[in-house]
């Protein structure tokens, strides 16, 4: 109970080299394999994580530049850079860059990162590698709440502010998250949780489609593209709100990396090492809902990013330690969404695909691979 930190090892001060160190009553001796002979493991793993962060950062930078350059009006990176540095002016290119492409690529990067982080939190929370806001129906719930709020406010001749849509999405997220939690408590098996989440998602989607069908023509134009999942039409004010919310929440999430690491080993385990498990669970639900709500409010429901990106990040880092994985998660989500959005709007230009269609093409195989791998474990 004292504040000082006594060490178990009485001979700890003795800096004997590895081979000469006395092993105090080992239960048995393991043959010294090449693995165990390797020393300095921690720096190696940290280096690997840093390398992954750097690689993802570079990829993101390239995709951001490409996203700004590529389009119906092409531009070289130099022209784009020039246009960005000189600030918004009257030229066509400047308008395209400043009004359309820059906010869009930034939105896809930030919202994609948030989605991936939210997926990572939910996977930790449910101890299930294929949990994410989309699969659990949380995105669909948020979308339904935003659609409802939009239509009600339009009826009253009001416009939904960015913060208002985040609030509505959060309410919808928390409601569906609550439903998922109640189901998780009752069904106990992981596959049933996922199926229940998908069902909740379908119900919410059906309700949203119903609303859209009965909305006025004017509203439909807005609702239709948003409800499919898209980064188009991102405005600077939306982006500002989204960035503020996501940066704030992400800081909270990174601060939680220590208890999250203990929670990954089980609730009883986390409790035993002194984690306030109930408080942590409430916090995870809140922050993951906030992240996915923010994304849904501005870009609609986007599928599979929350599963694929954290999984790929974990594989790349080679560890599940939150402190190492979470930054990689965020960057992987950014890269994933940025790339998918670029494909969505350039692949069949001038026809624009919904981002969800592209993320599904790349994300679903990852999910299938995950399910196959899980099966092989047992």
Partner 1 sequence: MMDLRARQDRCRRPAAPHAHGMRPHPADASTGDGAPSGAPGDTPLALETRGLAVGHASRALVSDVDLAVRPGELLVLVGPNGSGKTTMLRTIAGQLKALGGSIMLFGRALDTIPGTERARTMAALFTDRHKTDLITCQDIVEAGRHPYTGSLGVLSPEDRRCVREAMEATGTWGLRDRDAAHVSDGQRQRVLIARALCQEPKLLVLDEPTSYLDIHSQIGMLQLLRNRARERRMAVVASLHDIGMALRAADRIACIHGGRVIFQGAPDAALSTEMVSRLYGVEPASYDPVSGSVELARPAGEPQVFVIAGGGTGTSTFRALQRRGIPFAAGVLYPGDIDGQLAARLAATAIFAADFEPVGPEAVDRAKEALLACRAVVCLRSSFGAMDARNAELLEAARAAGIPVCGDIGQLDGLA
Q: Which residues bind partner 1 (CB under 8 A)?
A: 1, 5-9, 12, 21, 23-33, 35-36, 38, 41-42, 127, 129, 255, 257-258, 261-262, 264-266, 268-269, 271-276, 314-315, 318-321, 323, 377
d(CA 234, CA 236): 7
Nearest to 132 by CA among 121, 119, 142: 119
Closest separation in Å from C-beta 92 to partner 1: 48
Closest separation in Å from C-beta 120 to partner 1: 12
Q: With contact defined as beta carbons under 8 Å apart, do 365 and 153 qualify?
A: no
Q: Which CB sits closer to partner 1, 192 or 273?
A: 273
Closest separation in Å from C-beta 11 to partner 1: 9
Closest separation in Å from C-beta 240 to partner 1: 29
Q: Within 10 A of 307 (CB to CB), how many other CB atoms are there?
A: 29
Q: Which CB sits closer to partner 1, 201 or 261?
A: 261
C-alpha distances out from residue 204 to 7, 47, 207, Å? 55, 44, 5
Closest separation in Å from C-beta 337 to partner 1: 23
Total residues found in the chain within this entry: 378
d(CA 283, CA 291): 12
104: number of CA atoms within 13 Å, CB side?
25
Q: Which CB sits closer to partner 1, 128 or 294?
A: 128
Q: Which CB sits closer to partner 1, 67 or 259?
A: 259
Q: Which CB sits closer to partner 1, 182 or 258?
A: 258
d(CA 256, CA 277): 12
Q: With contact defined as beta carbons under 8 Å apart, do 355 and 344 qualify?
A: yes
Q: With contact defined as beta carbons under 8 Å apart, do 115 and 302 qualify?
A: yes
Q: Which CB sits closer to partner 1, 72 or 189?
A: 189
């Amino acid at each position: 109970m004292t504040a000082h930190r006594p060490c178990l090892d009485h001979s700890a001060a003795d800096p004997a080299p590895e081979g000469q160190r006395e092993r105090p009553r080992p239960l048995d001796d393991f043959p010294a394999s090449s693995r165990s002979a390797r020393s300095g493991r921690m720096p190696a793993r940290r280096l690997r994580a840093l390398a992954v962060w750097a690689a993802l950062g570079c990829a993101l930078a390239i995709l951001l530049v490409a996203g700004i350059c590529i389009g119906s009006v092409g531009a070289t990176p130099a022209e784009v850079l020039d246009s960005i540095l000189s600030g918004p002016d009257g030229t066509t290119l400047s308008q395209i860059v400043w009004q359309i492409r820059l906010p869009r690529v930034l939105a896809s990067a930030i919202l994609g990162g948030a989605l991936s982080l939210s997926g990572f939190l939910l996977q930790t929370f449910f101890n299930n590698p294929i949990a994410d806001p989309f699969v659990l129906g949380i995105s669909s719930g948020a979308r339904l709440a935003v659609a409802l709020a939009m239509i009600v406010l339009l009826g009253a001749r009001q416009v939904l502010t960015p913060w208002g849509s985040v609030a509505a999405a959060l309410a919808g997220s928390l409601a569906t998250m609550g439903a998922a939690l109640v189901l998780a408590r009752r069904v106990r098996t992981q596959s049933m949780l996922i199926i229940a989440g998908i069902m909740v998602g379908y119900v919410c989607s059906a309700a949203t489609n119903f609303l859209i069908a009965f909305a006025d023509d004017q509203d439909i134009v807005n609702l239709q593209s948003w409800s499919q999942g898209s980064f188009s039409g991102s405005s600077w004010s939306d982006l500002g709100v989204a960035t503020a919310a996501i940066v704030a929440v992400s800081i909270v999430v990174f601060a939680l990396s220590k208890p999250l690491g203990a929670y990954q080993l089980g609730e009883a385990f986390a409790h035993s090492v002194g984690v306030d498990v109930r408080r942590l669970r409430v916090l995870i639900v809140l922050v993951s809902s906030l992240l996915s709500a923010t994304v849904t409010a501005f870009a609609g429901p986007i599928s599979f990013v929350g599963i694929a990106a954290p999984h790929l990040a974990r594989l790349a880092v080679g560890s599940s330690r939150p402190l190492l994985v979470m930054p990689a998660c965020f960057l992987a989500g950014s890269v994933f969404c940025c790339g998918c959005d670029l494909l969505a709007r350039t692949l069949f230009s001038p026809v624009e695909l919904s981002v969800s269609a592209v993320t599904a093409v790349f994300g679903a195989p990852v999910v299938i691979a995950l399910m196959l791998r899980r099966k092989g474990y047992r």
